[in-house]
Amino acid sequence: MEDMEIKEEQTFETEDTTETSTLPYREGEDYLLEVNHLKVYFEVLGGHVKAVDDVSFAMKPGETLGLVGESGCGKTTTAFAINRLLPSNGNIIGGYIKYKGKIIGEKDPEVTGLFKDRKKRNIYREREAMMAPIRWKEISMIFQSAMNAFNPVHKIGNQIVEAILAHEDVTQEEALERAKKLFKVVGLPPGRVVGYPHEFSGGMRQRAMIAMALACNPSLLIADEPTTALDVIMQDRILAEIKRLQKKLGIAMIIITHDVSVVAETADRMLVMYAGKMMEYGDIGELFHRPAHPYTIGLLGSFPSIKGEKKKLKSIPGSPPDLVNPPSGCRFHPRCKFAKPKCMEEEPALIEVAENHWAACHFAREIYSGELKEE
Ligand SMILES: Nc1ncnc2c1ncn2[C@@H]1O[C@H](COP(=O)(O)OP(=O)(O)O)[C@@H](O)[C@H]1O
Ligand code: SF4
Ligand SMILES: [Mg+2]
């Protein structure tokens, strides 16, 4: 009977059978963070949502990466995989994540049947124990919704104090002093540390979230759409604040957004995702001035020019695909203005069109050289 149970569970294992593409960074260098051919799938009724499907990038200390793409393309899932915060139906099914040279994420046993299987349960426990000292202390996160990030029944200051005490050998008073200082740093009155989350406005909560993310002096900050919920003026102010603090403290940052204008001034590099796949990756100047991927061209077309000229905002026609059964070949082909028959059949490889500039399109070289243009 026990044997049968195990067999049944094994049929749920998702095999990573697809070929992996080229790695867009040199292995063996000293990186702060390395994401290597990462694949994260969600188990759902009727199959798997292929939310992150072969994503690779590497960051050095202090660098800023802009992770951009339309809603649902896998940005938050990538961030959650890095911080080991995936929901119970989400699993890393291929690739790995290294932080300061040490693996912090790799293929997990799938959740199905997990609690019947002691071995799988132990693997989860071990990995969770390894990640606990890293989360917040080394890699912290500003969540998409600060509303959900705080526990509504505890004072915000106490939650920041708890985070500090969990990682550092300081007294309660010292931690509270630090929380107050952080409030000041992010532009909140220090006296408000005794407030509850519901007593804060959206903008204040977002600032408190930034204070919490900075509380343990992390080396890497992941800011997941940190300002989307706010009005435009507040967005600019908070972004400027994050950027100022990040530079001052020398923190590396992944800034996640669906809005390319946010990364234009903030990031050193940009990674463009579409439907779980990486489309283009490289130095920000290259990608903004000479995009080699039709999807990036579309995204930039829906963004007023950096030079300040007024441009009519366009959106890319069509809607994002179903990630349980994604389109064949290039996942972008149903919406791509450059698509040819080959695009429906063959998945494009990541091509290095210039130094530190990669694009996953069959025609990336022709687009980059200007031989192929949008009609
Ligand atoms: N817990 C979940 N179960 C099933 N599918 C999910 C889950 N969380 C996210 N997804 C799906 O994974 C894909 C990527 O989501 P997400 O990473 O949140 O995208 P983004 O942050 O780019 O908007 C989407 O298709 C989303 O619907
Ligand atoms: S591979 Fe084809 S469909 Fe995909 S982006 Fe390039 S031209 Fe468009
Ligand atoms: Mg998201």
pLDDT, one tens digit per residue, over 2-18 is 444 433 343 345 555 55
> Which among 317, 318, 339, 316 is positioned nearest to 328, based on CA atoms?
339
Q: Is 245 helix (H, G, I), strand (E, B) or coil?
A: helix
Query: Does 145 map to a domain?
Result: no
Identify which of 363, 371, 375 to mutate to test ligand 2's pocket (most ligand atoms within 8 A of the CB): 363
The reported pLDDT for the residue numbered 2 is 41
Which ligand number lies closest to the CA of residue 274?
Answer: 1
Query: Does 144 map to a domain?
Result: no
Query: Does 212 map to a domain?
Result: no
Identify which of 39, 48, 49 to mutate to test ligand 1's pocket (most ligand atoms within 8 A of the CB): 49
C-alpha–C-alpha distance, residues 277 and 39, integer Å: 9
Q: Encoding tokens for residue 21? A: 């593409």
Which ligand number lies closest to the CA of residue 70?
Answer: 1
Check: CB of residue 98 under 8 Å from CB of residue 279.
Answer: no
Ion ligand 3, residue ranges at CB < 5 A? 76
Share of the chain above pLDDT 70, in %: 88
Q: Is the CB of 316 under 6 A from ligand 2?
A: no
- List all residues 6 or more positions away from 98 whose beta carbon is below 8 Å from its beta carbon: 31, 33, 34, 36, 104
State the virtual CA torsion across 234, 232, 296, 374 in degrees, nearest 10: -160
Report how far ligand 3's centroid is from the alpha carbon of 144 (Å): 7
CATH number of the domain at 353, please: 3.40.50.300
Which residue minimizes the CA distance to atom 4 of ligand 2? 330
pLDDT confidence of 262, banded at 50, 70, 90? confident
Q: Is the CB of 361 under 6 A from ligand 2?
A: yes
Which ligand number lies closest to the CA of residue 346?
Answer: 2
Buried b (16+ CB within 10 A) or exposed e, 149-184: bbeeeebbbbbbbbbbeebeeeeeeebbebbbebbe
Query: Does 292 map to a domain?
Result: yes
Which residue minimizes the CA distance to atom 6 of ligand 2? 361
DSSP 8-state code for residue 334 = G
Which residue minimizes the CA distance to atom 1 of ligand 2? 361
Query: Does 10 map to a domain?
Result: no
pLDDT confidence of 259, banded at 50, 70, 90? confident
Number of domains in the chain: 1
pLDDT tens per residue, range 117-165? 777 778 888 888 999 999 989 999 998 876 678 899 999 999 999 999 9
52 CA: nearest ligand 1 atom: 14
Which ligand number lies closest to the CA of residue 73?
Answer: 1
Query: Does 286 map to a domain?
Result: yes
For residue 289, the enclosing domain spans 24-138+218-369
Query: Does 19 map to a domain?
Result: no
Report how far ligand 1's centroid is from the alpha carbon of 70 (Å): 12
Lowest mean pLDDT among 96-100, 104-108, 195-199, 358-362: 104-108
- Give the mean model confidence (pLDDT) for residues 276-291: 96
Query: Does 205 map to a domain?
Result: no
337 CA: nearest ligand 2 atom: 8
Strand duo 252-257 + 220-224: pairing = parallel
Q: Count CB atoms within 10 A of the CB of residue 63.
A: 18
Identify which of 77, 91, 225 to mutate to test ligand 1's pocket (most ligand atoms within 8 A of the CB): 77
Which residue minimizes the CA distance to atom 16 of ligand 1? 74
Identify which of 48, 50, 53, 73 to mutate to test ligand 1's pocket (most ligand atoms within 8 A of the CB): 73
- Specify the DSSP element, H or E, that contains 257: strand 252-257
C-alpha–C-alpha distance, residues 41 and 142, integer Å: 23
Which residue minimizes the CA distance to atom 5 of ligand 2? 361
Report how far ligand 1's centroid is from the alpha carbon of 94 (Å): 17
**Is the model's pLDDT at 185 over the cut of 90?**
no
Distance of CA 266 to the CA centre of its chain: 15
pLDDT tens per residue, range 290-322? 999 999 999 988 555 444 454 455 678 888 899
